Each structure stands twice: as C-alpha cells, then as structure tokens.
Amino acid sequence: MNTMQKGFTLIELMIVVAIIGILAAIAIPAYQDYITRSQVSEAVTLGGGLKAPLAEYGADKNEWPDLVGPTATPVAGELNATLVGKYSQVISTTGADIGTYPDGVLEIEMTTGKASTAGSNLLQFTTADGGSSWACGNTKTDTMAAAATGTTIDAKYLPNACKP
C-alpha cells in the first residue's frame, strides 16, 4: 500500500514558531524605540517652529516675547505660537522663562509617550546670540562657550542634530 504524506510535522511547525518568536523579540523593542523617536520629533518641530519668530521679535524689540496660543489675540509683548502638540508642550511661555535677551532657552516638555517619564522629559533649544543660531538638545553653537545640559530626554530618542 502506497500512502502519501500530507501537511507538516510537529517539529516543522515548532521550528517556524520559534523563528517567529525570535524575530518578534528583536522587532518589538526596535519598533517601540522608533515610535518614541517619532514622538520626540514633535517636540523638535514645536521648538523649531518658534526659532525664527523669536529671533525676529528679539532683534526688533531687544527682548523675548511672551508666547500665547494660536487662537489668542496678542497684545504688546506677545507672540502667537503653537504651544501644545499631541505628545509635547512648550513650557517656556513668558519672556522671563526664555531668558534675558540675547541669551535664551526654549523648553519643550514631553507630556505623553515613552519619552515622558518623570525626570527625563525635557528638550531645550538654547541661543547666546539673540536667536541667530540655536542649539538643540545638549549641543552647542559657535557663539556658546559650552554645550547646554538641560535636555533630559535620553539621547537615543533625539534626532542627530540634537545629540551631544
């Protein structure tokens, strides 16, 4: 009697399951880091969008403005800005928070996501020349004597321009 084998053996199925498990063990943490980096990029975008308007205002008025939401009507000394995103918010909203012109620090806080853990959720943009050049994260510009150290977000989540 001649019989044909149909289907897979148990050992073949177990090998496939083991391979899938190994791939998942590698891929899931890498994917979570990728998601966190994309959430931090929102904070970089919020801060980056404020650099030019702050520099222009500072050059005109010789001081930093107070930042108000985009729906508010600004009065003297105020500047409209997007202050809140899905994962982050700008916390340097008054001229005094930013600093004494021409030195300034713009702080963005991660509010949700993996990069928002207590004590390691702050991204800073710093300038020492009235906003002509800004340093992101723990980097420095040509006009700064030393690199800023206020960014507390883990360096692996920061874009390359913000890494020390």
- Read off the CATH number of the domain in which 97 is found: 3.30.700.10
Would 3 be classed as within a structural domain?
no
CB contact at 8 A, 134 and 147: no
Is 134 within a domain?
A: yes
Q: Is residue 86 part of a domain?
A: yes
- Residues whose CB is less than 8 angstroms from the CB of residue 88 and which lie 6 or more positions away in sequence, other chains included: 39, 40, 42, 43, 46, 108, 109, 110, 111, 123
On the CB side of 112, CA atoms within 13 Å amount to 4
113 falls within a domain: yes
Predicted structure pTM score: 0.80
pLDDT in tens, the chain (164 residues): 667 778 889 999 999 999 999 999 999 999 999 999 999 999 999 999 999 999 999 999 999 999 998 888 889 899 998 899 999 999 988 988 999 999 999 999 999 888 887 677 899 999 888 888 888 888 777 776 666 778 888 888 888 888 77
Residue 148 lies in a domain: yes
Q: Coil, strand, or helix at residue 52?
A: helix
Q: 68 has which bridge partners?
A: 80
Residue 2 included in any domain: no
The domain tally of the chain equals 1
Question: Domain span at residue 154?
Answer: 10-162
